[in-house]
Structure 1
Amino acid sequence: MKIAILVNPLIPVPPEQYGGIERIVYLLIKELQRNGHEVILYAHKNSQAGCKLIAYQESVNYGAKDFIKINALTAKIAFQDFDVLHTFGRMNNIALMMWSKIPKVVSYQLPPTISQVKKATKIAFKNTLYFTACSNFIARQINKFANVTTIYNGVNINEYQFNATVSADAPLVFLGRIQEEKGTSIAIQVARTTGRKLIIAGNIPAEETHKQYFSTKVKPFIDDVQISYIGPVNNFQKNELLGNSYALLMPVTWDEPFGIVMAEALACGTPVIGFNRGAIPEVVINGLNGFVCNTLTEMIAAVGHIPEVSRLTCRGTAEDRFNAVVLGKQYENLYRKAINRR
């Protein structure tokens, strides 16, 4: 198959540090290539995905000029013998392609804009538009208005070293953007109450509200003895950090669409403790690979039950459910289904 893949041109594919969608796109490209398919990527100019790249840009404040310029580019896909068009980016950027007979797959990694789903479903050429969601939580928001397939995000299992045991005093870890809805300060409360060390890793977003959150809710508790902040981490550092952790904390206060860091932790054999929000209860199976909690009190108690969780089982759930090989095969099957229905 000849496949066009689009992603918003904000972060290169693959990303060096933060960039969950771009990381998934890179994994998918590698799997498709491994299975003999030709992939052309439309993305940030610095992308290095190992396939043909067509670079494009959009303004910080996306507007009419961006819409016209980008659609002038993507409309050419209709005349270039592609079998499938797959976008992880703005649906506006393939607006003109809706009337094309080429199968189109639109993947949601964030909550969908339902008005756009309805509009696209209405104008798209019959039997050419397919939606995917990174979790059932996201899929449920779409399936009232259009058919949608849940395809969980994944990781390259071979890039994550399984650690069967960690020391009894291994630290808890928080890995993600340092902002209120990610629950960094809640992770600190869990560590302080349980008496365990906590390593915080991740970037502080540039917006003033996030800087203020860090300076008032996080920084005052950093003592580099019990609570440490190490900043953003690269893939090698992430592997080391997660693999040597007692558990990953996911104390999110918003509905997390998936949370790739959970799959990364499980691939290292590290259990996950998270709040019952968004897709977390789809990834974390209570008592099997971690614990799903409804309150801070439950999360604190769950830390004491981590020795009951098998790290080998954690790795197994990552291999079976959140593996790049599985992800690639599911998308490939969807492409073939879409092509056969033309």
Structure 2
Amino acid sequence: MKIAMLAPIAWRTPPRHYGPWELVTSMLTEALVARGIDVTLFATRDSITTAKLDAVVPAPYSEDPSVDAKVWEFRHLANLFGQAGRFDLIHNQADFPAHAFAGLVDTPIVTTIHGFSSDRILPMYVPFQDCVHYVAISAADRHPALCYAATIHHGIPFDTFRFNAEGSDDLLFFGRIHPDKGAREAIAATRASGRSLDLYGIVQDQGYYEREIAPEVDGALIRYHGAIGGEARLRALGSARALLHLINFDEPFGLSVIEAMASGTPVIATRRGSMPELIEHGVTGFLVDNPGEVHAAIERVSEIDRAVVRQVVADRFTIDHMADAYIGLYRQILGR
């Protein structure tokens, strides 16, 4: 089985810090290679992989302003689809632009839909659903206008995340600094609880950061650390009392939720999007609907068994689970 894996080019694959689509693409690619599958990764030139790397894009456009996103995205696509006949299947992780080529090649295409920015993008999905196999990353993110080949949750490298049985009294926010992700709500909940909060993540909305977040950061009770990776990231995910994930949008998945849980950290999340699929209320965390419920959940976190939180991830959200599901789908499509 020869697979062409099409990565996005906003960030390196795998990303240095932020880049969830690129991270999932990398994790799946490496798992497939480990199973003996012949994978060619189409990504930026600085990408790192054990697969064959076929790259024409000089650098990620979010890191190098000299790289024009539109120009290089289509150069990236042209590079893959110009040699589509070499592959048994193309796995598209890079959103809808690839669909423009779907009717021009005979190679089957799988598109993992990492989330809908809005219904305005449906014209690049609906007309192609008879020739592209769509995968939803959660049941909550299935759009009623589309047909899907499968729902496959993301998996993480479980053994990378160390179990922290104790945590601490401090709370954690881990994600983009953007109104959607609820950093302001996390700060308000933390202050109401009388505890401390550590915030990690890139600033994606500078105005929001300057208006709502920066004035609250005092370096004592509310601490902002920016984006982190490596050992510091692992420590941060495991050393909190709970992750506050008080989102203001219907999040299609939420890798940080699973990563925190893999470290033993319970999650307190708004009952929106995929959160009821990822979090078992009262077992791995709490689902909340209003600020009063957030406060009560923070106080009840000590009722959660952190070992159980980690075990749920081992049972449901590993790379092996994700890779096995995709391989099953590939074989189904190819009639093997």
TM-score relative to the length of structure 2 = 0.91
**Matched residue of 1:39: which SS?**
strand
1:73-152 paired onto structure 2 within 5 Å: 73-80=79-86, 82-111=87-116, 113-122=121-130, 124=131, 129-139=132-142, 141=143, 144-152=145-153
Q: Which amino acid aligns with 2:319?
A: A
CA-to-aligned-CA distance 1:278-298 (integer Å, 9 cap, x gap)? 111111111010001111111
Q: Offset at 1:27?
A: 0.7
1:141-290 paired onto structure 2 within 5 Å: 141=143, 144-167=145-168, 170-205=169-204, 210-290=205-285
**Matched residue of 2:264: which SS?**
coil
Q: Which residue of 2 aligns with 1:25?
A: 25
Decide whether aligned partners of structure 1 residues 159 and 66 sit closer, same or farther in structure 2, where only a CA change above 3 A counts.
closer
Q: Offset at 1:44?
A: 1.4
CA separation in 2, counterparts of 1:70 and 1:294? 43
**Matched residue of 2:82: which SS?**
helix
CA-to-aligned-CA distance 1:50-82 (integer Å, 9 cap, x gap)? 22111134864637x964x445322233321x1
CA-to-aligned-CA distance 1:126-162 (integer Å, 9 cap, x gap)? xxx31101111112x0x54323311111210011001
CA-to-aligned-CA distance 1:289-334 (integer Å, 9 cap, x gap)? 0001111111111101101111111101111111111111111110
CA separation in 1, counterparts of 2:52 and 2:115? 27
CA separation in 2, counterparts of 1:306 and 1:72? 51
After superposing the two structures, state which structure 1 stretch, 217-226 or 156-165, moved more: 217-226
Aligned residues: 325
CA separation in 1, counterparts of 2:214 and 2:102? 48
Q: Which residue of 1 aligns with 2:41?
A: 41
Q: Offset at 1:96?
A: 2.7
Q: Which amino acid aligns with 1:111?
A: F
CA-to-aligned-CA distance 1:20-40 (integer Å, 9 cap, x gap)? 011111110111011111110
Decide whether aligned partners of structure 1 residues 70 and 198 sit closer, same or farther in structure 2, where only a CA change above 3 A counts.
closer
CA separation in 1, counterparts of 2:68 and 2:155? 29
CA-to-aligned-CA distance 1:139-194 (integer Å, 9 cap, x gap)? 2x0x5432331111121001100112234xx2100011112121111101111001
Contact 2:198 2:225 in 1 (8 A): yes
CA separation in 1, counterparts of 2:153 and 2:8? 20
CA separation in 2, counterparts of 1:200 and 1:78? 43
CA separation in 2, counterparts of 1:324 and 1:203? 25
Identical pairs, percent: 30
CA separation in 2, counterparts of 1:10 and 1:235? 20
Can you give the 5+ residue segments of structure 1 that lack an aligned partner in the other structure?
none
CA separation in 2, counterparts of 1:172 and 1:61? 37
CA separation in 2, counterparts of 1:243 and 1:147? 35
Contact 1:71 1:94 in 2 (8 A): no
CA separation in 1, counterparts of 2:96 and 2:83? 15
Decide whether aligned partners of structure 1 residues 230 and 75 sit closer, same or farther in structure 2, where only a CA change above 3 A counts.
closer
Decide whether aligned partners of structure 1 residues 3 and 201 sit closer, same or farther in structure 2, where only a CA change above 3 A counts.
same
CA separation in 2, counterparts of 1:121 and 1:77? 22
1:46-85 paired onto structure 2 within 5 Å: 46-57=46-57, 60=68, 62=70, 67=74, 69-80=75-86, 82-85=87-90
Q: Which residue of 1 aligns with 2:312?
A: 317
Q: Offset at 1:235?
A: 2.8
Contact 1:276 1:294 in 2 (8 A): yes
1:322-333 paired onto structure 2 within 5 Å: 322-333=317-328
Q: Which residue of 2 aligns with 1:2?
A: 2
CA separation in 2, counterparts of 1:144 and 1:294? 28
CA separation in 1, counterparts of 2:215 and 2:73? 43
Contact 2:196 2:221 in 1 (8 A): yes
Q: Offset at 1:102?
A: 2.1
CA separation in 2, counterparts of 1:70 and 1:228? 40
CA separation in 1, counterparts of 2:195 and 2:332? 50
CA separation in 2, counterparts of 1:104 and 1:93? 9
Q: Which amino acid aligns with 2:327?
A: E
Q: Offset at 1:216?
A: 2.1
